[in-house]
Amino acid sequence: MVKVNDTCIGCGACTAVCPDVFDLNDEGKAFNTLGEDVSADLMDSVKEAAESCPVEAIEL
């Protein structure tokens, strides 16, 4: 499961690190474009994006 919680500040770090999974919505907040299920081959990038998040908004 990969989720962006309400603490997201919309900095875009996750979209820069892992654009295959993360994007910003109309409100400028990040979301998982693939839904909660992310394939195993993308998880290294997802973990890197989570580590880059300054407010730890990405839940794995």
Residues 9-27 as b/e (b if ≥16 CB within 10 A, e otherwise) read: eebebbbebbeebbeeeee
Provide the residue-wise pLDDT of the chain in tens; the chain has 60 residues.
899 999 999 999 999 999 999 999 999 999 999 987 899 999 999 999 999 999 999 999
pLDDT of residue 34: 93
Number of folded domains that form the chain: 1
The contacts of residue 56 (CB under 8 Å, 6+ apart) are 7, 50
Give residue 38's Cα distance to chain centre.
11
Q: Encoding tokens for residue 18?
A: 């892992």
Q: What share of the chain is helix, strand, coil (3-state, %, to 5)?
A: 30, 15, 55
pTM, two decimals, is 0.92
CATH value at residue 52: 3.30.70.20
pLDDT of residue 1: 87
